[in-house]
Amino acid sequence: MSKNRRKEIQQKQSLQAQFQLALSQSEKRALSWLQPCRSTNPTPETNDDDSFMNLPVISQGAGLSSKNGSSSTIGEFLSSDLKSTKQQQQVKEMRKPTSKPMMALMNKMRNTSRETVRKKVERVKQEVKQADNNDDDSDDEEISQLRARSVKKTTGGILQHKIKKSGRPF
């Protein structure tokens, strides 16, 4: 590097330092004017924070005029010791079986519980069907005999004429 270039860099750095010093001095002067104002009015800032923390938390679907006395506030929610979602996800990952035999056992347990639920539902359905079949009317027997004798009509007479049954497709 040439001597001229070094001098330019040093001059720029010194100018930058002087500029930063001037800015910091002007900031200090401005803050000294504002500090007495801050010390005289500390209550409105805390009141704003307190009023925000005292706002009620309204659950989804609840109206604004909730008659429940157990309404929580934002401050209570923030100070609560509920676990975050990341912690809950870590707990779920810990519960997840890692080995194949353990996964097979968990699947088998799920399948057996499903089968028991299915059997219970089938029993209930069978009981309902048995209750419906206890009708002993002679009219029903006559209707069933008439249905057995009658012949169903075929539909689609127009379509049958249009379809040709030839061996060749064209």
Is 157 a domain residue?
A: no
Residue 169 lies in a domain: no
| Residue 68 belongs to a domain | no
**Distance of CA 9 to CAs 2, 4, 5, 92, 158, Å?**
11, 9, 6, 59, 99
Q: In the prediction, which pLDDT does 124 show?
A: 86
Amino acid 148: pLDDT: 74
Task: Give how far Cα 2 sits from Cα of 5, 16, 60, Å.
Answer: 5, 22, 71
For the chain, give the mean pLDDT.
Answer: 76
Average pLDDT over residues 127-132: 69
Write down the H helix ranges in 41-167.
43-53, 74-79, 85-95, 100-132, 138-149, 157-162
Question: When comparing pLDDT for 28 and 162, which is higher?
Answer: 28
pLDDT single digits (tens) 71-111: 678 888 888 776 666 777 777 777 766 788 888 998 999 99
Max avg pLDDT among 51-60, 142-151, 160-169: 51-60
CA 62, 64, 69, 73 torsion: positive or negative? positive
Identify the pLDDT of residue 155.
60
Decide if 103 is inside a domain.
yes
More confident: 70 or 104:
104
Query: Does the predicted model carry a pTM greater than 0.75?
Result: no
Smallest Cα–Cα separation from 57: which of 79, 38, 39, 35? 79
Distance from C-alpha of 154 to C-alpha of 90, rounded to nearest angstrom: 65
Q: H/E element holding 3? A: helix 3-40
Spatial separation of the C-alpha atoms in residues 37 and 43, rounded to whole Å:
12
Kindly state the DSSP code that residue 166 receives in the 8-state scheme: -
With respect to residue 87, please indicate whether it lies within any of the assigned structural domains.
no
Q: Return the higher-pLDDT residue of 15 and 45.
A: 15
The whole-angstrom separation of Cα 170 and Cα 165 is: 11
CA distance 18 to 25: 11
Domain that holds residue 115: 97-131
Does any domain span residue 146? Answer: no
Q: Is residue 148 part of a domain?
A: no
Structure-token pair, residue 28: 């200090």
Who's near 97: CB < 8 A, 6+ residues apart?
Answer: 103, 105, 106
Average pLDDT over residues 13-18: 95
- How many other C-beta atoms are found inside a 10 Å radius of the C-beta of residue 134? 6
Q: For residue 82, is it within any domain?
A: no
Number of domains in the chain: 2
